[in-house]
Structure 1
Amino acid sequence: MKHVNIGGVPEHFNLAWYLTLKNGEYKDEGINLRWHDYYGGTGAMCKALREKEIDIAVILTEGITKDIIAGNPSKIVQTFVQTPLVWGIHVAANSKYNTIADLKGTKAAISRYGSGSHLMAYINGENNNWDLEKDLDFEVIKNLEGAVEGLTDGEADYFLWEKFTTKPLVDDGTFRSVGNCPSPWPCFVIAVREDFINNEEDTLKTILDIINNTTVDFKHIPSIDKTIANRYEQKIEDVQEWLSLTEWSQEVIDEDTLMTVQKELFNLNIIPEIVDYNCLVDKLE
């Protein structure tokens, strides 16, 4: 039995992994795939890949691109979710801020530096013509739970996180939503440590075949909307909206898309250089 560790955020995007694990599909192929939830998001998974705690990560495109350029010995092997991530921009329920414009120069809560919540704060600033040096300030809060505490206590003023994941906190009056900031590219990719690709390519291909067979028909799984609503404590109408907006992928991320990501990160001074496509991607043969 091959032992493989994989990490991802505990969100509805990754339900297909849970279903295939529950069905024993990897064990049927001699693979003991162990899923690890990363509540700290992309920054925490980049660290876990570097420290060999996990072999595979289902991770934000911009975050892993930045970290590979910074020396993470991993490669992107596939796009997982083709559609952009809709980041909700949230403030505490009792906040004095009511619009995105009000947030200029205030403090953003981020899970950690290099995380999606950090990078998308720059995208939001750029979208609104802010001075990215003067108008952005950050407070590290580790995860969603930390954001609730940080915004409520006034340690930070706003927080970007996936819109549908935080919707229950908006509904119960913990947060208020002041707007959205969609990522300008496919949101999730599958990244794998290079040594794992080199040593276990057949195992990796088997894992990808299994997950891709599920995601290609994910929306047609009977009562999938009810399953998601129950598991992630969301309203059925929110889940149905999310499903209508979301498309999975079974393909390798293309060169033009990855160049768009790099150019954006470079223009925001988040990466020091633009690298060759092959430095970021491994097209499994």
Structure 2
Amino acid sequence: MAASQPLRVGFVPEHFSTPIHFAQKHFGLDAQLIPFPSGSGHMIISLRAGEIDIAIGLTEAWIAGLGKPDVEGDGGYRIIGNFVETPLCWAVSTGAKRADITSLESLRGSKLGISRIGSGSHVMGYVLADQQGWSAPSPPSSSVSSASDTGSDSPYADSVVLQTFANLRAAVNDSTADFFMWEHFTSKRYFDNGEIRRLGDIYTPWPSWHIVATTKVLSSDDGKAKVKDLLAKLDQGIEYFQGHHDEAVQYISTELDYSEEDAREWLKTVRFSERTEGVNPDVVQNCMRVLWKAGVLVEGKGLGGEEMYAKQLGA
């Protein structure tokens, strides 16, 4: 990234992105916003490829990406801030007419649809398996480019990589996959119109969204100064969001794929961070412990918790 260029920021174009939109619209956020509808796993690939400088995505995906046993080099990015303090509610969905799938228990040994290897939709499949008390899972590897979780100790017959939310919905209806997990309110419209069927929900046991930056952008004083300015603008966008819920609902229900009713219901459930800069080490360690237990990560392998976040951005 040249000194004169704005930061390239990856984000998921969902309701959670509303404060980012406000930061740019009302407070002059100088950044190139790049949507990633395929989610956090795709952003990890782009961060490491030097295609984006900052990404705002799911906590478990960032930590799984840095904690995997075969992480290369310095991992390519560090967690620099927190974005959403409340946990994420993942809806567990199957095809509308899948009579063979009746409950969460019936998913054991089935085909899990995911956006990408190492994404939140992949990682949370293993957290679900752990919570359900199924057999110890095989840790997913983000170095694999296609479905891979077929070991004898895996709780699933396969993990089918499908890239997008639309592909996931289609796959559970044509039996390419048996179920998938996606954020509750993003899924709700498709429960309401009968396209897919909800089997249940699972909550992340940690704050749901964090912000990361590439190690390259954090390696220079100019880069760190740009990151600090971006975080300050996000703080302003969040503060504006908190005081202008009607404007938020208008934006979510007209520019994004949500009804006004669902947007207002979501507002009751979400709490954004008042100050985005900084990382709570306890959050990282708690997430790692859950991912160790679920078999997503292997204790003692990959980066340690203290290596995953930037401790000080400086001036």
Which category describes the TM-score, using the shorter chain as reference length?
A: over 0.9
How far is 1:235 from its partner?
A: 2.4
Q: Identify the residue that residue 211 of structure 2 maps to in structure 1.
A: 190
Q: Identify the residue that residue 82 of structure 1 maps to in structure 2.
A: 85
Q: Distance in 2 between matches of 1:166 and 1:16?
A: 21
CA separation of 1:134 and 1:192: change in aligned 2, threshold 3 A: closer
User: Are 1:41 and 2:46 matched, yes or no?
Assistant: no
Range 223-232 or range 177-186, more displaced: 223-232
Which of 103, 106, 114 is matched with 2:107 structurally?
103
Counterpart amino acid of 1:210? K
Which of 95, 105, 127 is matched with 1:92 structurally?
95
Aligned Cα root-mean-square deviation (Å): 1.6
* TM-score, length basis structure 1: 0.93
Range 135-144 or range 119-128, more displaced: 135-144
User: Are 1:169 and 2:190 matched, yes or no?
Assistant: yes
Q: Is contact 2:93–2:200 with CA below 8 Å preserved after alignment? A: yes
How far is 1:231 from its partner?
A: 2.1
User: Are 1:230 and 2:254 matched, yes or no?
Assistant: yes
Q: Distance in 1 between matches of 2:279 and 2:191?
A: 33
Q: Identify the residue that residue 307 of structure 2 maps to in structure 1.
A: 279
Q: Identify the residue that residue 155 of structure 2 maps to in structure 1.
A: 135
Q: Distance in 1 between matches of 2:128 and 2:306?
A: 29
Q: Structure 1, residues 162-195: CA drift from partner, whole Å, max 9, x if none?
A: 0111111111111111100111101110000011
How far is 1:124 from its partner?
A: 0.8
Q: Identify the residue that residue 56 of structure 2 maps to in structure 1.
A: 58
Which of 11, 26, 44 is matched with 1:8 structurally?
11
Range 94-103 or range 179-188, more displaced: 94-103
* TM-score, length basis structure 2: 0.84
Q: Identify the residue that residue 202 of structure 2 maps to in structure 1.
A: 181
Q: Structure 1, residues 215-239: CA drift from partner, whole Å, max 9, x if none?
A: 1342321512233222223222221
Which runs of 5 or more structure 2 residues have no equivalent in the other structure?
A: 138-152
Which of 241, 250, 264 is matched with 1:218 structurally?
241
How far is 1:46 from its partner?
A: 0.4
Q: Structure 1, residues 193-215: CA drift from partner, whole Å, max 9, x if none?
A: 01101221111111110111121
Which of 94, 116, 122 is matched with 2:120 structurally?
116
For 1:270, what is the secondary structure of its paired residue?
coil
Identity among equivalent pairs (%) = 27
Q: Is contact 1:38–1:44 with CA below 8 Å preserved after alignment? A: yes
How far is 1:273 from its partner?
A: 3.3
Aligned length: 280
Q: Is contact 1:219–1:243 with CA below 8 Å preserved after alignment? A: no
Q: Is contact 2:91–2:183 with CA below 8 Å preserved after alignment? A: yes
